[in-house]
Amino acid sequence: MARDYYGILGIDKSASDSEIKKAYRKLARKFHPDVNPGDEEAAESFREVSLAQEILLDPQKRRVVDMGGDPMEQRGGGGADFGGFAGGGLGDIFAEFFGGGASRGPRSRVQPGNDALLRTSISLEEAYSGVQKVVTVDTAVICDHCAGTGSESQAKPVGCPTCGGAGEIQEMQRSFLGNVMTSRPCPRCQGFGEIITDPCKQCGGDGRVKKRRDITVTIPAGIGDGMRIRMASQGEVGHGGGPAGDLFVEVRTQAHAVFERNADDLHLTVRVPMVDAALGTSFDIEQLDGEELTIDIAPGTQPGESIEVTGHGMPRLRTDGFGNLFAHVDVVVPQEMDKRTRELLLKIRDSRGEDTRVRRSGDGQEESFFSRIRDRFRNR
């Protein structure tokens, strides 16, 4: 049974070429494998709409469809008709296996374009606030001289006189098994079944030319390193002025001098003199948005402790709110000190009556140094 190519694209039989292309682009975006990774049903639908466009944009094939046939069906009947072997001989049987059976027909001159990928680099501040970046892309675009037709006069192609519009040439070769029919693409029309009599001087009949152009990409706040932004129909224009593919912009985030990012959280290390760690202090940092934030360090803060400040991390990309900020404390012990400082520290030690001893597990003391180091790296 012939396929309903008009129904596949959801158009009327009176649809023009531009309406066919418009319907194809709409469905191709919906079923494209890049949009539906791993979805075999969507991939099959994408193949169906691509085939429907190819058939209906070809005048000869469309004529077959309008007459109730299917140009993709094998000539000479279905494969279940074994009666066809009666008068053909072994040569005809082997011709089916060696590619000399049904003609595949000409391929469409109008082909969908390929997707394009480029990379751009942003700062952590730009990832925090979002930014618009101008990127330069070098891809094929529609030839403005011939409007994508490939013809200098923008005339329609004519049937290839070499292959008669079939897009391929069949040759009979004699072998010990009999006559074997082989097919190959027509060398004159490259398998299109039609030729352009006056090729465009700018694109040489391809309908597209290479061009460097600038595109503005909107990068959302909170985007992660390595994420890609899809820009529909901004990729490469297809052969014969076919619909353009998509452009994917991969975003890389530069390292920051102060902050280190982990998902939606920000981490920084602050060096605190041991006296300030013992007595408590505060310090100001400039956030990624330029605003200052005061962080308090409580008295008795230990080396390796982390101070969590809720809601001062990166903005969440797909939901509201922000991650958190973690300030990791690095207590600085002086390696050199003057006589006065040393005397003061000796007095403090003597007044507290503390001495150095080995910590035993389960003695009620606070967690070990190695445990703190381990937890610190878990939070990074």
| Binding site as annotated, residues for Zn(2+) | 143, 146, 160, 163, 186, 189, 200, 203
Residue stretches of the annotated binding site: 143, 146, 160, 163, 186, 189, 200, 203
What's the CA gap between 335 and 172, in Å, rounded?
94
Q: Distances from the Cα of 249 to the Cαs of 211, 234, 327, in angstroms?
A: 18, 11, 33
∠ CA 99-105-107 to the nearest 5 degrees? Answer: 115
